[in-house]
Amino acid sequence: MPALRIGTRASDLALWQAQHVAARLSALEPGRAIDLVPITTTGDELADAPLERMEGTGFFTSTIEARLLAGEIDLAVHSYKDLPVAATAGLAVGAVLERAPVEDVLCAREGWTLERLPRGARVGTSSPRRSAQLKGLRPDLDFRPLRGNLPTRLARVERGELEAIVLARAGLVRLGLEGRISEIFPVERVLPAPAQGALAVQVRACDRVAAAAVAPLDHEDTRRAVESERAVLHALRGGCSVPVGAHARACGARVELEAGVFDPADGGAIRARDSGSEPLELGRRVSERLLALGADRVLAAIDRTAGHAAPRVR
């Protein structure tokens, strides 16, 4: 039985995710050797680049995908939200694991909640989606850029450089750092990123052996929910990182989806929700409702501010 080589980023969280997949595969086939192959990505090398210009654009995945296409690894484990919504030719998502907690959380000095943060408190996040939503709740806060792995980010609060930071709950849970959370934001209050908390296992589209090995890891309800969330992002911006949040739940044959576009300038929110049995069509339908409510104007204003030409809305 040939060994399976799993490609992954080298951060603590990425290695945990890859090891988790490896453990699941070992339990399915105890005799199979599994090797982890840490890979440095473009996003890791550009340590000072704005994170909001990198997530969901391939900066954290393209190098690993190239190694997979070249046959140097057999599988790749990604945080699903890092994968561009346009699939890479020759590759397929062979499994979407059962989702971890999806919420965003606050990690603050003194255990402060968002309401208790001092006026003008410095809050670290490089996510325009997070800062726009929190600006709508606390317009007085001072949002600062934030990069680095989880321990590095948390250390900035410990050193007093920031009063608080905003992170995904899933990563903290996976690394045993849930005790650092001072507030969990319900999805009804702060919508997470599309596919937040989900892991994607990527394989070569032609590799039947690898596809068969990972297929039992696939969690259908998670896959259907995440597909509808990513369909919103694809319809609105073709995969670029923008202040778009989405959260879906699969309930039997139907999926319930809520999505929103948030204005970084003033924290304004445009939200829409619907349900349906076909995840991709549901995502497209909700995105059309967002556009009808004015989301296109918010996205166009963001493009003008950033100096980009507005991408075509599909």
* Torsion angle of the four alpha carbons 48, 51, 56, 58, in this order, in degrees rounded to the nearest 10: 0
Residue 255: the pLDDT is: 98
Report helix, strand or coil for 105: strand
pLDDT 10s digits, 165-212: 999 999 999 999 999 999 999 999 999 999 999 999 999 999 999 999
For residue 275, how many C-alpha atoms fall within 13 Å in the half-sphere facing its CB?
8
CATH superfamily of 1-97+198-218: Periplasmic binding protein-like II (3.40.190.10)
- State in Å, rounded, how far the first CA of the chain is from the last one: 45
CATH topology of domain 219-304: Double Stranded RNA Binding Domain (3.30.160)
pLDDT 10s digits, 142-156: 999 998 899 999 999
Gap between the Cα atoms of 31 and 115, Å rounded: 53
Tokens coding 177: 């750092």
Task: List the single range of 15-29, 57-71, 243-257 with lowest mean pLDDT.
Answer: 57-71
b or e along 267-289 (b: 16 or more beta carbons within 10 Å of the residue's beta carbon)?
bebbbbebbbebbeebbbbbbbe
* Torsion angle of the four alpha carbons 190, 18, 199, 164, in this order, in degrees rounded to the nearest 10: 10
For range 112-127, the mean pLDDT: 96
Which CATH entry fits the domain spanning 104-185: 3.40.50.970, 3.40.190.10, 3.10.180.10, 3.30.2350.10?
Answer: 3.40.190.10
Known catalytic membership, residue 82: yes
Q: Is 148 exposed, middle or buried (0-12, 13-18, 19+ CB in 10 A)?
A: middle
- Could you tell me which residue, 10 or 313, shows the higher pLDDT? 10
Q: Do domains 1-97+198-218 and 104-185 have the same CATH topology?
A: yes
Let me know how long the chain is. Answer: 314
Order the strands of the 164-168 sheet from edge to edge. Answer: 142-144, 122-124, 164-168, 104-108, 183-185
CA angle 16, 20, 26 (to 5 degrees): 140
Q: Sketch the domain layout of the chain as residue ranges.
A: 1-97+198-218, 104-185, 219-304
Residue 311: the pLDDT is: 37
pTM reported for the whole predicted model: 0.90
User: How would residue 56 be classed by pLDDT, with cut points 50, 70 and 90?
Assistant: very low
Residue 306: the pLDDT is: 62
Annotated catalytic residue within 74, 82, 207, 263:
82
- Could you tell me which residue, 240 or 19, shows the higher pLDDT? 19
Gap between the Cα atoms of 312 and 314, Å rounded: 6
Q: What is the mean pLDDT of the chain?
A: 90
Gap between the Cα atoms of 304 and 139, Å rounded: 23
Gap between the Cα atoms of 91 and 108, Å rounded: 40
User: How would residue 43 be classed by pLDDT, with cut points 50, 70 and 90?
Assistant: low
Number of neighbours of residue 98 by Cβ within 10 angstroms:
14
User: How would residue 48 be classed by pLDDT, with cut points 50, 70 and 90?
Assistant: low
Residue 310: the pLDDT is: 38
Gap between the Cα atoms of 106 and 117, Å rounded: 11
Q: What distance lies between CA 235 and its chain's CA centroid?
A: 17
DSSP state, residue 245: E
Among all chains, which residue has been given the structure tokens 């969280």?
13
